[in-house]
């Protein structure tokens, strides 16, 4: 017994190192699996406020481009609005439209954005206080951004589409053949769409949108265009490179999207669960 204690005292530095290192490695391995990386998260009071203050100062440098992006979006929305047939729209039907919406949309701002790592996260303003919850989709005016993964009182952490752990259901706009959208960790403008069956008519320049099988994103949110593709002869599936519409390196105003019928749909899909 005495010898054990002596041994421990003699090697206390090594022991402390091993204990601390085990904690660090444990956190690292946990972070490499999706939905398990919440122990160390920037969505907390201290880091959230520091990053928000810094963002408050640096946002002035990007005002011009951000204004242009918003104006472009306004233009596109105006175009859609003016081309809607206004004749049948009585006040009641408009009210119906408002109270019976399937998707709740909420604006937010990005306060920290990483895109040069393998597994990237964003931090956005708004948390439990603003009724933001886990597993809501985040989009920008040009395309999808990611999925909310961790929420604190005032901040939310978003797992970016530029993260090797994300996989999002996506489809060809023309034919509705769907596949899974993943990232290989290299170019922040290119994602890859896998598992598209060989019967799909794939062409460079075609548009990819979100698929209807996801309960997180609405159908037909634009994602990007096909920049190149190859057919894997062994399995009969296409490997498609998708160039994003979204500039993931320059994000400021984003929208959080909540599917208000998600729980209902989820219950129907998994009936055996209580």
Partner 1 sequence: MKIYFINSIRFVLLILVQVLILNHFEIFGYVNPYIYPLLIILLPFNINSIQKLFLAFALGICLDFFEDSGGIHTAATLVIAYLRPLFLRNAFGLSYDYQTLKFYDAPFRSRFVYVSLMVLLHHTILFSLEIFSVNHLLYLFEKIVYSSIFSVILILITLNLIRKTSK
Applying CB under 8 A, the residues found at the interface with partner 1 are 12-13, 16-17, 20-21, 23-32, 37, 40-42, 44, 46-47, 50-51, 54, 112, 114, 116-119, 121, 123, 157, 185-186, 249
Q: How far is the CB of 266 from partner 1 (least distance, A)?
A: 27
Nearest to 179 by CA among 109, 236, 252: 236
Nearest one of 132, 184, 179 to 155, comparing CA atoms: 132
CA–CA dist 147, 166 (Å, integer): 9
CA distances from 263 to 62, 85, 131 (A): 38, 33, 16
* Helix, strand or coil, per DSSP, at residue 39: coil
Residue 77, both tokens: 């929305």
Q: How far is the CB of 65 from partner 1 (least distance, A)?
A: 16
Contact 51, 162 (CB under 8 A): no
Whole-angstrom CA distances from 41 to 27, 121, 132, 151 are 11, 10, 16, 10
* Cα–Cα dist 130/155, whole Å: 9
**Cβ contacts of residue 185 below 8 Å, gap of 6+?**
118, 164
Q: Select from 50, 257, 39, 5 the least CA-distant residue to 133.
A: 257
Q: How far is the CB of 248 from partner 1 (least distance, A)?
A: 12
- With tokens 């009210």, the residue in question is 95
- Distance, CA of 110 to CA of 232 (rounded, Å): 38
Q: In DSSP terms, which residues pair with 178 in a beta bridge?
A: 171
Q: Please report, for residues 51, 214, 263, 268, 269, the alpha-carbon distance to residue 272 in angstroms, rounded to integers and kept in the order given.
A: 43, 20, 14, 9, 9
């Amino acid at each position: 017994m005495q010898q054990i204690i002596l041994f421990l005292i003699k090697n206390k530095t090594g022991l402390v190192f091993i204990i601390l290192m085990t904690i660090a490695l444990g956190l690292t391995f946990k972070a490499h699996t999706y939905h398990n990386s919440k122990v160390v998260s920037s969505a907390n009071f201290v880091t959230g406020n520091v990053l928000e203050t810094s963002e408050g100062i640096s946002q002035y440098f990007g005002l011009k481009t951000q204004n242009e992006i918003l104006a472009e979006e306004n233009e596109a929305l105006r175009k859609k609005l003016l081309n809607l047939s206004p004749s049948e729209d009585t006040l009641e039907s408009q009210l119906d439209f408002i109270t019976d919406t399937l998707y709740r949309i909420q604006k937010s701002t990005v306060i920290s954005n990483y895109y040069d790592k393998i597994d990237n996260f964003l931090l956005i303003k708004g948390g439990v206080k603003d009724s933001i919850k886990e597993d809501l989709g985040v989009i920008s005016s040009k395309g999808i951004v990611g999925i909310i993964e961790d929420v604190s009182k005032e901040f939310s952490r978003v797992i970016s589409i530029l993260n090797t752990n994300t996989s999002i259901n996506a489809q060809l706009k023309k034919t509705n053949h769907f596949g899974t959208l993943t990232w290989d960790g290299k170019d922040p403008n290119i994602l890859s769409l896998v598992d598209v069956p060989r019967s799909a008519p794939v062409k460079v320049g075609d548009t990819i949108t979100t698929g209807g099988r996801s309960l997180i994103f609405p159908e037909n949110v634009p994602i990007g265009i096909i920049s190149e593709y190859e057919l894997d002869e062994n399995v009969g599936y296409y490997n498609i490179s998708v160039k994003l519409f979204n500039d993931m390196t320059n994000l400021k105003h984003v929208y959080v999207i909540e599917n208000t019928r998600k729980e209902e749909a989820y219950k129907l899909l998994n009936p055996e669960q209580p």
